[in-house]
Structure 1
Amino acid sequence: MFSADPSRYDGRMPYRRCGKSGLLLPEISLGCWHNFGHFDDQHEARAILRRAFDRGITHFDLANNYGPPYGSAEENVGRFLAEDFACHRDELVISSKAGHDMWQGPYGEWGSRKHLLSSLDQSLRRLRLDYVDIFYSHRPDPKTPLEETMSALATAVQQGKALYVGLSKYPLKRLKRAVSILKDMGVRCLIYQPPYSILNRWPETEGIHEWLHDKGIGSIVFSPLAQGMLTGKYLAGIPEGSRAAREEGFLQTDQVAQQHDKLHALHAVATEAGMPLHHLALRWALQQRGVTSALIGARTVAQLDDSLDALHTPEISADLLARINEISPA
């Protein structure tokens, strides 16, 4: 039986207000994109969730198609929530998403009401929950009218199946319109989720983070370590067993090769700052305007602890921030 650490809220984990809302999120949240599927070590996955909660992480982020196979991350996390965290449900923020490929046929992806609301019902069954705290449209649909997609998010809130709604990966023009449509429907967009790292600064380039900050909408960034490139493991090449070494992975060897010079330059900056590269990358993301929380993944409890230790490093100085901007500009 899991007994949570009674000192989990003793100040080790800082919390930030999510835009202009009543919700506080931990500076680092746990993403369940990797390492929670049926093919992963379930004992370690369970231990990661327990350790995360003991260290103050109150936000677990999922999506309908996380695994593999699709849906398996929600199934496994749902089992752990029921067995270990049932008495802590009101301390947790659980999010899920829909919009990417999930099941066969014309309704298994994108942004129709049919897909989003059916997917949410499936997610709730897998997670063994009555509601999720945040339900996202996982990606913009180029063909479904935006009003239909937003109406599905509004319905999720009105039915009590989601407390808040969010958007992920929407370009600025479409994001602005989506937020406006939701507002007209009486539902505010709580949060936005983009990929964001020192090596991928497009939310800055497009002015998204500046606009979110001005509108009081939170931002929770994923891949702050650039799929592992900012961990230091690729400084000497492609390690066996790494994401870039897997044919089916999102990170490809040519992507790593293209970033070779930047990675070595950033490693030098991190060394000068007296911290490992991944701590520099996490600290950098959390110092950027408009960022509420950074999503990390972890294969092991030790890896989770190591990433969380970045919160105890000093903020990056203005001089080092300027050097990072020179190495990898927005």
Structure 2
Amino acid sequence: MYQANNKRYEQMVYNRVGKSGLKISALGLGFWHNFGSVDPYENQKAIVHQAFDLGITYFDLANNYGPMPGSAEENFGRMMATDMKPYRDEMVITSKAGYDMWDGPYGEWGSRKSIIASANQSLMRLGLDYVDIFYSHRPDPDTPIEETALALDQLVRDGKALYVGISNYSGAQTTAMAKIFKELRTPFIIHQPRYNMFDRHIENDLLPVLREIGKSAVVFSPLAQGLLTDRYLNGIPTDSRAAKSSSRFLQPEQVEKTLQTVRKLNAVAITRGQTLAEMALAWDLRQPEIASVLVGASRPEQLVDNVKALNRLSFSDADEKAIADILLVHEKNNV
């Protein structure tokens, strides 16, 4: 039977989520990849155990994570019913609704029907009475934001979620949702956007809004699907994600466009005594509005390496300038 590391809280950093009372681990475990029905269950358990042993308490799921859709929640539910059951109150477990999940007009987007049905299904797969945070996974262009907000609020009032969040909303959309949640007194505390050195769109749009309204972000894709690691420094390995013709998220041409920049960033990381991945994670966390970064893993050892980012979170003015200059050249060359 799994016994958690009794020193698990000694090395992790825990950040307060906006002005709420909740703290979450600076690194969270994402279930987007490697936790589906096609992935070995014993390896999934080993990754979750390693994450928790390292002090990671934030576990990020969604209704359609797999493949097959729903299978990541089912697999995590198996763990929660056995190995992780004694530790439920030490974990922040999240789920989301909004992307394609089931056939027909109610299996996606943000209607009240879809949000509440999806949450109920997620709780059944997870085997839980509630999740700690439930997100609207993306804004729905055909549903009034009031309807989506009221559906999320209902989940809290029904005891199915402790807090609510939104994901992939623009700054203006976030402002509008926050206003409704404030009127409803809904515990809306967090936003989940994409953010990394190659995708900084939230810096001038979303982060100022979060600062103004007192909310935090937990960001996904901090390593840009592996580009911001040493994985592609010397080309595209045959067993890499970019080499797979079925990959929708990383193509060989993306690697080629970023290779020169990645090598320059890696040189900065070396001067800091970090790997490129460690520096990329720390770089995200330097933003005061970002409470946590989501990391994925295909094996437990990757998490051990990721947590080393916490050993050096500060950036000198020289580090900041060197990275900014590299990224500026990259952006000019890829307009």
Q: What TM-score bracket applies, with the shorter chain setting the length?
A: over 0.9
Question: CA offsets, 1:169-204, max 9 Å, x none?
Answer: 101111110111122222132100000011111110
Structure 2 matches for 1:60-209, cutoff 5 A? 60-206=59-205, 208-209=206-207
Q: Aligned pair 1:13/2:12, yes or no?
A: yes
Residue 233 of structure 1 corresponds to which residue in structure 2?
A: 231
Query: Match of 2:49, as an amino acid?
Result: R
AA in 2 matched with 1:229: L
Root-mean-square deviation (CA, aligned residues, Å) is 1.3
Deviations 1:138-170 (A, max 9, x none): 001111111111111011111100000000010
- Are 1:4 and 2:4 counterparts? yes
SS at match of 1:148: helix
Contact preservation (8 Å) 1:195, 1:222 = yes
- Given that residues 29 and 59 in structure 2 are in contact (C-alpha distance below 8 angstroms), is that contact kept between their aligned partners in structure 1? yes
Q: Secondary structure at the match of 1:178?
A: helix
The 5-angstrom pairing of residues 245-284 of structure 1 reads 245-249=243-247, 250-284=249-283
Partner of 2:209: 211
| SS at 1:84 equivalent | coil
- 1:248 CA drift (Å): 2.9
Q: Describe the shift of the 1:8–1:98 C-alpha distance in structure 2 as closer, same or farther (beyond 3 A).
A: same
Unaligned regions of 5+ residues in structure 2, if any?
A: none
1:114 to 1:276, Cα distance in 2 relative to 1, 3 A: same
TM-score by length of 1: 0.96
- Alignment identity in percent? 50
Q: State the partner residue of 2:284.
A: 285
**Separation in 1, partners of 2:296, 2:57:** 14
Kept after mapping to 1: 8 A contact 2:174/2:209: no
Q: Is contact 1:97–1:138 with CA below 8 Å preserved after alignment? A: yes
Aligned to 2:220: 222
CA deviations over 1:45-84 (Å, ceiling 9, x no partner): 1011111111111111100010111000000011011111
SS in 2 for 1:264: helix
Counting matched residue pairs gives 328
1:194-247 per-position Cα deviation (integer Å, ceiling 9, x unaligned) = 0001111111032x1122123210110111101110012112222112121223
**Residue 35 (str. 1) matches residue 37 (str. 2):** no
Q: 2: CA distance between counterparts of 1:112 and 1:303?
A: 38
Deviation at 1:314, TM superposition (A): 5.5
Aligned partners of 2:312 and 2:288: how far apart in 1? 19
Unaligned runs of 5+ in 1: none
AA paired with 1:4? A
TM-score of the aligned structures, taking structure 2 as reference length: 0.95
Contact 1:133 1:164 in 2 (8 A): yes
Distance, in Å, in 2 between the alignment partners of 1:82 and 1:120 is 19
1:257-309 CA distance string (max 9 Å, x none): 22222212111111222211101101111112311111101110111111112
